[in-house]
């Protein structure tokens, strides 16, 4: 089928075009407020990839482009098998793209003797195309995980964070939809947990100053309230220990079946992270078989003061390993969770690329989505938050 026929049949002008002379767009995975994600074929490498393309109406939005670029650069620095792999990043400059947008060009836009070189200004990010499901999808099906699985997924995520932190990258938005449980490679039997979506990551230079100030305006809080550290909720300067708190929240949810703090009002949730002590996991889910040593580690990870948490991802891993070694006999006696394999399809592949909302992207759906609660990623003023904190004090 020709590019034009494919585009007309599917109703998307990008289908069939070639990006950067090597990625042929063959299908659409999903779209959101910041961009669209496609399946593409890289014939020279014999593989399919996922390509995230910045929306054309954001092509000249300086903040959108800066964020997109920051995500690409942050991810390109990481080589951990527990971080989604980036293959390529750049700006789309392509005649076929221009035709896809239906834009005409005058002769002045081309050099003599050359074809037109107009660019729509959109950026693209090519990444590995994963199969499996997000942790968020898994928790929606099972509510909570077996202790061994929860600890293993947390360990994988910590390995990703250890490398990121060593390179001066703070994720700042760890949540279930930004951890992906990928199907194991051939010959392996265990799923691999990968960290996704560095869209609001903070990349530090050697002087401990952010590479860009896009997300560091005074008095503004960025992130997902249910998984924010207390210092993040207050708009304070962050270091790697903020991510460790968020990872602690994720591990708590995997074990207990819910995050430590829940409310439909995002600001109330943030205030509780700042002021309220979480119930120990062992008490919150006494029937889950959570080892006391693991529950105690979680209390440390969820400490309000960063200096009371594990000092690094590597230290967190070491303490997690010790806790699991102490609990190994009881963990082996766990009843396995019911087998409910993830559906194969575009939804899983999309989430491997964009998570659940760094850019508002949503997977294709045949059913009407449930109303979103007000605890999704937010940017709020710290003045309003301080009032709520005072009320809860």
Binding site feature residues for ATP: 52
The partner residues of 124 in beta bridges, in order of sequence, read: 53, 90
* Strand spans (E) along the chain: 18-19, 23-31, 35-42, 47-54, 86-91, 123-128, 132-134, 169-170, 179-182, 192-195, 202-203, 220-223, 378-381
Grouping H, G, I as helix, E, B as strand and the rest as coil, residue 291 is coil
Whole-angstrom Cα distance, residue 71 to residue 127? 12
Backbone angles phi, psi at 47, to 5 degrees: -145, 155
**Euclidean distance between the first and the last CA atom of the chain, given in angstroms as a whole number:** 65
Distance CA 202, CA 205 (A): 10
Enumerate the known binding-site residues: 52
Which residue in 98, 173, 243, 356 is the catalytic one? 173
Write the DSSP symbol of residue 43: G
CB 203 within 8 A of CB 210: yes
173 among known catalytic residues: yes
Catalytic positions are: 173
């Amino acid at each position: 089928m020709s590019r034009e026929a494919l585009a007309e049949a599917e109703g998307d002008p990008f289908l069939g075009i070639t990006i950067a002379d090597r990625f042929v767009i063959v299908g659409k995975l999903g779209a959101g407020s910041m961009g669209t994600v496609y399946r593409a074929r890289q014939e020279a490498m014999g593989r399919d990839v996922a390509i995230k393309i910045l929306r054309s109406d954001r092509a000249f939005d300086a903040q959108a482009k800066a964020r997109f670029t920051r995500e690409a650069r942050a991810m390109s620095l990481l080589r951990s098998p527990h971080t989604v792999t980036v293959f390529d990043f750049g700006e789309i400059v392509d005649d076929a793209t221009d035709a896809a947008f239906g834009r005409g060009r005058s002769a002045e836009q081309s050099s003599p003797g050359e074809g037109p070189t107009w660019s729509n200004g959109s950026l693209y990010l090519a990444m590995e195309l994963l199969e499996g499901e997000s942790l968020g999808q898994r928790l929606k099906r099972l509510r909570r995980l077996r202790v061994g699985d929860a600890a293993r997924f947390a360990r994988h995520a910590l390995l990703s964070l250890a490398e990121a932190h060593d390179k001066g990258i703070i994720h700042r938005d760890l949540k279930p939809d930004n951890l992906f449980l990928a199907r194991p490679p051939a010959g392996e039997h265990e799923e691999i947990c990968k960290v996704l979506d560095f869209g609001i990551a903070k990349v530090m230079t050697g002087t401990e100053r952010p590479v860009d100030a896009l997300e560091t305006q005074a008095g503004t809080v960025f992130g997902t309230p249910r998984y924010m550290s207390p210092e993040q909720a207050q708009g304070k300067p962050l270091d790697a220990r903020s991510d460790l708190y968020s990872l602690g929240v994720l591990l708590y949810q995997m074990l207990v079946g819910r995050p430590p703090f829940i409310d439909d009002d995002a600001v109330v949730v943030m205030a509780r992270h700042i002021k309220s002590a979480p119930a120990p996991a062992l008490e919150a889910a006494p029937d889950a078989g959570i080892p006391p040593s693991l529950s105690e580690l979680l209390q440390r990870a969820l400490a309000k003061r960063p200096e009371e948490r594990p000092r690094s991802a590597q230290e967190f891993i070491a303490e997690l390993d010790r806790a699991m070694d102490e609990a190994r006999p009881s963990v082996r006696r766990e009843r396995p969770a019911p087998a409910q394999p993830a559906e194969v399809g575009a939804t899983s592949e999309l989430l491997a690329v964009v998570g659940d909302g760094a850019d508002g992207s949503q997977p294709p759906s045949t059913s009407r989505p449930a109303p979103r609660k007000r605890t999704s990623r937010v940017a709020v003023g710290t003045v309003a938050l301080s009032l709520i904190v005072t009320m809860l004090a």
